[in-house]
Amino acid sequence: FGSYEYTVGFMCLSLMVGMSVAATGRQALLQATRSLRPLAGATICSTVVSVVVAVPLYWAFSVNGIVPAMIAGSLSGLWFYSRAVGRLRRYGGRVGVRLRDHKPLVRRLLRSGMSLMAVGAMSVGVTFAVNVWLRAEAGESSVAMYNAASSVSSQCASLVFMAMAMDYFPRISALAGDRKAMSDVVEHQIRAVLTVLAPMSCLLSAMAPLVTGLLFSSEFDGMIPMLRWLSVAMVLKGVSYPLGYVPLAMGHRRLYFRLEGIYGTVTIFTAVAAGYVAGGLEGIGVAMCAVYALDIAVYAMVCRRCFGVLPGGRTLSIAGRSVAIAVCAVMASGLPDRVWAYAAQAVVCLVALTASWIELCRIKRDI
Least confident of 54-58, 89-93, 183-187, 276-280: 89-93
Domain ranges (residues) in the chain:
1-95, 119-366
Residue 169 has pLDDT above 80, yes or no: no
CA angle 146, 272, 317 (to 5 degrees): 100
Separation between Cα atoms, residue 280 and residue 325, nearest integer Å: 24
Name the pTM for this structure.
Answer: 0.78
Answer yes or no: are the C-beta atoms of 161 and 241 closer than 8 Å: yes
pLDDT at position 232, please? 92
Over range 215-223, report the average pLDDT: 85
Of residues 191 and 290, more confidently modeled: 290
What does the DSSP assignment read for 281-307? HHHHHHHHHHHHHHHHHHHHHHIIIII
Q: Where is 144: in which H helix or E strand?
A: helix 140-174
Over range 48-65, report the average pLDDT: 89
pLDDT at position 230, please? 92
Separation between Cα atoms, residue 360 and residue 231, nearest integer Å: 21
Separation between Cα atoms, residue 331 and residue 148, nearest integer Å: 22
Write the single-letter amino acid at 62. Answer: S
Q: pLDDT confidence of 103, banded at 50, 70, 90? A: confident
| Each residue's pLDDT tens digit, 335-351 | 888 888 889 989 999 99
Answer yes or no: are the C-beta atoms of 257 and 118 closer than 8 Å: yes
Q: pLDDT confidence of 292, banded at 50, 70, 90? A: very high
Helices (H), 175-223: 179-206, 208-215
Of residues 324 and 183, more confidently modeled: 324
